[in-house]
Each structure stands twice: as C-alpha cells, then as structure tokens.
Amino acid sequence: MDLYKLTITQASKGLKEKKFSSKELTKSVLARIKSIDKLVKAYVTVDEENALHKANKADKLLMKKRADNPLVGIPFALKDNICTTDIRTTASSNVLKDYLPIFNGTVAKKLKEKNIVLLGKTNMDAWAHGSSTEASDFFTTRNPWNLGRLPGGSSGGSAASIMSDMTIGSIGTETAGSIRQPSAWCGAVGLKPTYGRVSRYGIVAMGSSLDSPGPITKTVEDAAIVLNAIAGFDPYDATSSPKKVENYTKDIGKKIKGMKIGIADMYIESSQKNIQEKIYQAIEVFKKLGAKVKNVNLVDPQYAISVYTILQRAEVSANLARFDGIRYGYGRDKFGEEAKRRIMLGTYALSTGYYDALYLKAQQIRTMIVEDFEKVFKKVDVIIGPTAPCTALPLGSSKTSPMFGEVQDILAEPSTISGLPGISIPCGFSDGLPAGLQVIGPQFSEKKIIQVAHAFEQETNYFKEKPKL
C-alpha cells in the first residue's frame, strides 16, 4: 500500500486503527519526495531528521491512546512564508534565504500543538508576489499534471506537493487568489477563510488587510479538518476575529436541496470557453442535487484588478520597508525585480498628491464591492463560478506580463478584497489539465461553502483523479 496517497481522513483512521505507524507514513511520504520532487520542485526545505523525530513522538501518543485529534502524526507541508523555529523561513526570497525565526507563526504553532509531522517548507513566488511560482528567487515549481506548465501561485509549492502526493496536508496563504488559483491549476482543494478567521501572526506580510492563511488539501473534508485546527482568535493578531469557531465538519454530507446558489454571468464570461463549459456542467450537477440556481448581478470583476493593485502595492511598500538588512536578512539589493516594482508603485500610490487620487479612491471602490456582495447574499446562500480564467499556462508565461498575477486572479480578487471565504474544487479536465470551480459565501460562512463543495465533490469524484508522475 502506498501510504503517501492517503488523505488526512484516511491516514488518521489508519493510524488510530494501528494499520500503520506515523513513522511508516512519514517514511513513505519522504521517499516520495526524494523520488518526485526533483521533477516537481515543490519544496524549498525538507527536514527529514526532524520529521522522523516528530513521527516517533506522535506514535508514542497514539500507543498511549492520547491522540485526541485527527491530525496527530499526519505529515504536513507549510508555505515558506509561515515562521517556524525549527526550519528556515525564506519567503522564497534571497533576502531571507538563511533566516531562522525565533518564534512560530500562530498557524504553525496550532498545528504543532496538534502533533503534526512537519516535513518542510514549500516554494512560492518571492514574498508571495505573483500567481505562477515562477517569481521565486530560487527555482520554478512545475505543475504535476504537466511538467511544462505552471502550478499557479503564490502557494504553488503547497498545491503541487499535495497533488503529487508529497505530503498529506498543506497550508497556503491568499492575498488575492493565492490559495484558490494554484489549487485550481493543480486540481487540489483550496480553502481561503474569511479575513481574520485564521491568524496572520508570524506570516511574512504582503497585504496586511488581505492576507489569509488556509488549507490546501486532497479533499473538502480534509480542508474542514485543518480549518478546525487553525481557526480562531489570536491575541497576537489585532485583525483576528473573536467570533466563535464552528465545527466545520458538522454539515459535511448534508444535502443541499433547496439551497439558493447564485451565478454571475460576468464571472463566467471572464473565463475561457473550455472553463465556461465545465462551469455550465457543474451548474447542472447542482440542479441535480436539488439546489435552486439563479442568476445574480455582481460588479464586473475587472474593476477589482485596479483596486487590488493599488491597495496591495501600497501595503507591500510599507511591509517590505522593514527588510533593510539591519534587523534580519540580507540587504535590499537582494530584492528581485517584482518586489522592486511593487515597492515603487506602492510608494507612488501613497505619496503626497497621489494618496487621494489613488489609494483613497481604491478604498472607496473596495467598499462598493463589499456592499455589492452584501446585497447579493440577501438573495442567495452562496455564489459559484470559475476559480481562474483558464487552465495552467506554459512555463515562462508570467515573464512576459507585469500584470500576470492580477489577470490570473481576476475571479478571486473581488471576494478577497471583500474579506469573504471561498473554496476551490476541481470540476473537470481540459486537455489533461484540471479546471477549478469556486464557491464563495458571506463572511464567516465557511461551514456552508464546505457543505456545498463537499456535495459537488462526492457527486462528481473529480478529486479521485491523480497526475501520473
């Protein structure tokens, strides 16, 4: 049995039934990494010695029947912008290539308290600036479905590691599509929580009013299990919500008959024909499941591009100001071209004479987009549509477009700048590449979008398809 192929749910069940040990599971995944990662290049750092040590610790807990949660002994990969004391945190930038944090980010801390087995850290666009993982200062991660294609980004390493079975669970972060878009391109499940539902503390900041950590997994149920572990208020993060954490697995398996699902033509029409075809097929599946599908009017997603670009660049210029080569990391001469562009544009947007015309105006339009969603959610429970406008593009595609990320994230940006939760699930294949469907809900409706996504997942079984590596 190839243990590395297991989901979190399956692995947890097998561990508790003593069909195999955490050490055996971890060794299986590590062997898979040694065999496959030279092709996919998903990991920046793999810590085999520490992983096996943690697996032994988990096995002792399992033997004593002190494993009171489903993540004990489960191998995990973290995006390399999440601080960890035992593994370097680079944000895939030469500025931080040797940085070892003195504290754990809250997401890492919570998972470690659940006694996961941390395998290592995954590749990303440097500083999370991009949607290809081609902007990493180290190397380009490949899409496991076609090694000549991009995995998406900026959480491309996390998505690629999951779909190539080089981990059982993984964590990404999203500022404007960076969980959902690579999940769509790699055929994974990517859950972006409500802004503030999961703490940002200990994550290398990009857009502080946007950043949201979340799970990238093999199934919807796995994503819900991970969200149960990482969600909640954090006194170290003033933007985290004190709202009570729900049990996100509670409504999994419940029927969605009678649920009102909205579709926006502007979103579907913003994707390529092959993606549109898959979305229309998905709509028929929801109708078959008894959902009431109705058209809704939303602001054209293209307006979110300019809003996001201005706000994100402004916050980048502020956040990257701390990396001066004095407090930690190397000097500013180590910044890549994309980081330099974003610093300059953000500083310009915040400068005297342009603040009102650019930054303030973008905030006003952001509020209009938030209100537009609020109005629509009075009529429907969730909104569905394509996650990304196309399937995975060839290697090199991002090098010819300075706005590559904004264009590829166009369908996720409106919900992200509104702080809404969204989940991407595979909804079919085109020329051997996965297509993604996203389910968006009102703020703190994670349980509902998980219920809807799981119903579709189980009806279609696309999640069972795996790339041949």
Residue of 12, 93, 132, 154 with catalytic role: 154
Phi-psi category of residue 228: left, alpha or beta, with phi > 0 → left and psi -120 to 50 → alpha = alpha
Residue 56, CA distances (Å) to 75, 214, 325 in order: 12, 27, 39
Kindly state the helix (H) or strand (E) to which residue 160 belongs, with its residue range. helix 156-163
Residue of 178, 270, 398, 415 with catalytic role: 178
- Whether residue 93 lies in the annotated active site: no
Residue of 27, 54, 79, 278 with catalytic role: 79
- Whether residue 170 lies in the annotated active site: no
- Report phi then psi at 23, rounded to 5: -65, -40
Residues 6+ apart with CB under 8 A from 58: 15, 22, 67, 72, 73, 115, 117
Query: What burial class does residue 42 get, using C-beta atoms within 10 Å of its C-beta: 0-12 exposed, 13-18 middle, 19+ buried?
Result: buried
Residue the block writes with tokens 């996961």:
116
CA distance 49 to 375: 53
Residue 177: which of 214, 146, 223, 204 has the closest Cα?
214
CB atoms within 10 A of CB 427: 25
Structural contact between residues 170 and 190, judged by C-beta atoms closer than 8 angstroms: no
Query: What burial class does residue 293 get, using C-beta atoms within 10 Å of its C-beta: 0-12 exposed, 13-18 middle, 19+ buried?
Result: middle
- Whether residue 287 lies in the annotated active site: no
Residue the block writes with tokens 């105006």:
361
CA distance 267 to 201: 33
Active site residues: 79, 154, 178
